[in-house]
Structure 1
Amino acid sequence: MLNVFETPNAGSTRATVATWYVDDIDAIVDELTAAGAELVRYDGAGQDDRGIGPRAGGGRIAWVGDPDGNILALETDT
């Protein structure tokens, strides 16, 4: 599932602009970092060394910036 919302601040907002709900966040984070992506880290988010943290309400979440400066999220229920 993909959840996208429009913002006039695309490329300059620090808010998440798109979220992908995935089954295997570990594999996707590994693939992204192997390709050179850097995960976004937030103070107090409880992220591990790879950038994956607990999601409010359960599950896990990671954020990555795209080349235009948008913040994208990956979420999983496990």
Structure 2
Amino acid sequence: MLDTAFSSFSVDDLNAAKRFYSDTLKLDVSEDSMGFIELNIADGHRVLIYPKPDHSPAGFTVLNFSVNDIEKTVDKLSQGGIRFEQYEGELKTDEKGIFRGEGPNIAWFKDPAGNILSVIEGE
């Protein structure tokens, strides 16, 4: 009955999102029949991104990218213009923006609409 699912989130500027996800993150991005964009993730999953005029970014991570080597991934994305978030306190990140606490290593960054994304090692 509920055998397939997909994730979605909003942005305030669909064109800026399309450029960011396709040009900066180098993901396979397509448009659906309603003009929304879809991220076609390598493992066969898809993520729908839709415009919302009164968009307000969530205060939590909306999309996680699993990576084998967080150091190389953070370095490569940083060279491509991604700025990783710096956190203090319980989720203190290092100078690269990587949290190395209990659990997997993770680094957070934002898309042009302020949505929080992450790269997470080994998930």
Normalised to the residue count of structure 2, the TM-score between the two structures is 0.51
Aligned to 1:53: 99
> Going by fraction, where is helix more abundant, 1 or 2?
2
Q: Which runs of 4+ in 1 moved over 4 A?
A: 4-11
RMSD, aligned CA: 2.3
Aligned to 1:35: 80
Aligned to 2:28: none
Q: Call closer, same or farther: CA 1:73–1:55 in 2, change over 3 Å.
A: farther
Matched, 1:69 2:117: no
Q: Distance in 2 between matches of 1:59 and 1:36?
A: 24
Instruction: State the identity %.
Output: 33
Aligned to 2:69: 24
**Unaligned 5+ residue runs, structure 1?**
none
Aligned length in residues: 73
Q: What amino acid sits opposite 1:46 in the alignment? A: K
Q: Which moved more, 1:46-55 or 1:63-72?
A: 46-55
Q: Which has the larger radius of gyration?
A: 2
Q: Distance in 2 between matches of 1:72 and 1:53?
A: 14
Q: Distance in 1 between matches of 2:7 and 2:56?
A: 13
Deviation, 1:74, is: 0.9
Q: Which has the higher contact order (CA 8 A, sep 6+)?
A: 1
Deviation, 1:42, is: 2.1
Normalised to the residue count of structure 1, the TM-score between the two structures is 0.75
